[in-house]
Amino acid sequence: MNAPLSAPLLPEVHPRPFPPEALAALQARFGGRCSTALAVREQHGRDESAFTHVPPPAAVVFAESTADVADAVRIAAHWRVPVIPFGVGSSLEGHLLAVQGGISLDLSRMNQVLAVQPEDLTATVRPGVTRKQLNEAVKHLGLFFPIDPGADASLGGMAATRASGTNAVRYGTMRDNVLALEVVTASGAVLRTGTRARKSSAGYDLTRLFVGSEGTLGVITELTLRLYPLPEAVSAAICSFPSVEAAVRTTIAIIQMGIPIARCELLDARTVRAVNAHSKLGLREEPMLLMEFHGSPSSVREQAELVQAIADEHGGQAFEWATTPEERTRLWTARHNAYFAGVQSRPGCRAITTDACVPISRLADNVLAAVADAEAAGLPYFLVGHVGDGNFHMGYLIDPDDPAERATAERLNHALVERALASGGTCTGEHGVGLHKMGFLRAEAGEEALAVMRAIKAALDPQDILNPGKVVAP
């Protein structure tokens, strides 16, 4: 750790001037696709973060092509107006909030699957295509795109935040599954990174630089992604445990044995209770692992038998199979709704969600300390984890109008991140930095690395118009 941890209770808002000439230029170019209607602006000025007080952008431009994006950025650059790319608005850390004003650049109409190359296991899509849409488009070819952050996010947004989710333990994250990009830079230039080859040593890895840059270095206008053959056999299982620790220790043993588990999710008893209420399920209200195995029928059976034996050793009970697609869908839908189940368990609340990821040997103590802190503070929470990766989320359910609750949640979040960093982990496994984790990034990366990030930002966006005030902003 290199600097004191800090996260803003509420982000600072400093709108830049938005000259009427800039709006006129956008309206001349985009006509009705440049909107200043309050409802449209408000819809583009909020995300799933707990920040509710930031004014919306001054205008929303709906792009339908790379040329639209390039022209919007060029107009914005001319007038030094911020540009905030927008997919479906499912980000969690304030990524989309117009803290310096400017325009929201809505990419949701760029939702074409441009090409699928089944023999190469690749697809090329526009950024507004969502993960479910892509999966629908390739299902008949026996293929799928594994990255699954829960929300039906846009693939451009998922690349921009380096998303992952439940399948990452087997298939990696967006970092690993984006082969190539088309990007509009801060000057309105269009560049391509990467190729359709599976690997390359050709120069600096610009693909990986734009993946995870959260709209601050360029606007992604096309992605080439890796696809995978649908596994011949898929099987899901749930198992209850006497404690969170027993569930985590089971996970550690699975990973250390090299079992190629496809999903390994933890829910604590509280969260199972909320999920039962929300999804009308009758799951045992104890800490639970929800797992999935992919492969040939015999390898799936072998993996599952090994895992069941490991779970038994750690006191696992009620190991149950879900082999039909309907049963599996029911379970994973419930898991995906855990966030909303948690939020609905306290009417009117907002969730402040943590996202630490630690080396797996440190997972148990990090999770247990986080739970103990939340219990001691008396703040309602939910706990889910992509525990195969060492990634877990506490969601603190606060009254957004109660500064004391917000402060408590942030205090717990600080303590949690501090422990994660001291354990050799990261403040964010998959949600990104946005506004909310800028102080944490500074503590994690250190001043020297942050200076390099800022030098890159300054080199690529010298006027600071691309999603300014986020990630690496001073």
- Interacting residues with a copy of itself between 217 and 236 (CB under 8 A): 217, 228-229, 231
368 part of the interface to a copy of itself, by CB under 8 A: no
262 part of the interface to a copy of itself, by CB under 8 A: no
What CA–CA distance (Å, rounded) separates 59 from 99? 14
Contact 112, 126 (CB under 8 A): yes
Among residues 364, 427, 435, 465, the one that binds a copy of itself under rule CB under 8 A: 427
252 part of the interface to a copy of itself, by CB under 8 A: yes
Give least dist CB 98 to a copy of itself, A: 21
361 part of the interface to a copy of itself, by CB under 8 A: yes
What CA–CA distance (Å, rounded) separates 370 from 388? 18
Question: Smaller CB distance to a copy of itself: residue 162 or 263?
Answer: 162
Give least dist CB 50 to a copy of itself, A: 18
Contact 365, 424 (CB under 8 A): no
Strand-pair partners of 83: 103, 466
Question: Smaller CB distance to a copy of itself: residue 352 or 441?
Answer: 441
What CA–CA distance (Å, rounded) separates 179 from 117? 13
Residue 400: which of 97, 90, 52 has the closest Cα? 52
- Contacts of residue 122, defined as CB under 8 A and 6 or more positions apart, other chains included, come to 116, 179, 196, 224, 225, 226, 227
Among residues 41, 350, 406, 431, the one that binds a copy of itself under rule CB under 8 A: 431
Phi/psi at 424 (5° precision): 80, 25
Site for a copy of itself in 55-94 (CB under 8 A): none
Among residues 152, 176, 285, 320, the one that binds a copy of itself under rule CB under 8 A: 176
440 part of the interface to a copy of itself, by CB under 8 A: yes
Site for a copy of itself in 275-314 (CB under 8 A): 295-296, 298-299, 302
458 part of the interface to a copy of itself, by CB under 8 A: yes
Q: Cα–chain-centroid distance for residue 417?
A: 17
Give least dist CB 348 to a copy of itself, A: 29
Question: Smaller CB distance to a copy of itself: residue 62 or 440?
Answer: 440
Binding mask 115-134 for a copy of itself (x = CB under 8 A): --xxxxxx------------
Question: Which structure tokens are listed for 46?
Answer: 């909020």
Among residues 84, 255, 272, 374, the one that binds a copy of itself under rule CB under 8 A: 255
User: Which residue stretch of 3-11, 14-22, 265-273, 427-435 sits at the interface with a copy of itself (rule: CB under 8 A)?
Assistant: 427-435
Give least dist CB 22 to a copy of itself, A: 25
Site for a copy of itself in 180-209 (CB under 8 A): 185, 189-193, 195-206, 208-209
Binding mask 386-415 for a copy of itself (x = CB under 8 A): ---xxx------------------------
Torsional class of 183: left (φ above 0), alpha (ψ -120 to 50), beta (otherwise): beta
User: Which residue stretch of 14-22, 166-174, 271-279, 335-343 sits at the interface with a copy of itself (rule: CB under 8 A)?
Assistant: 166-174
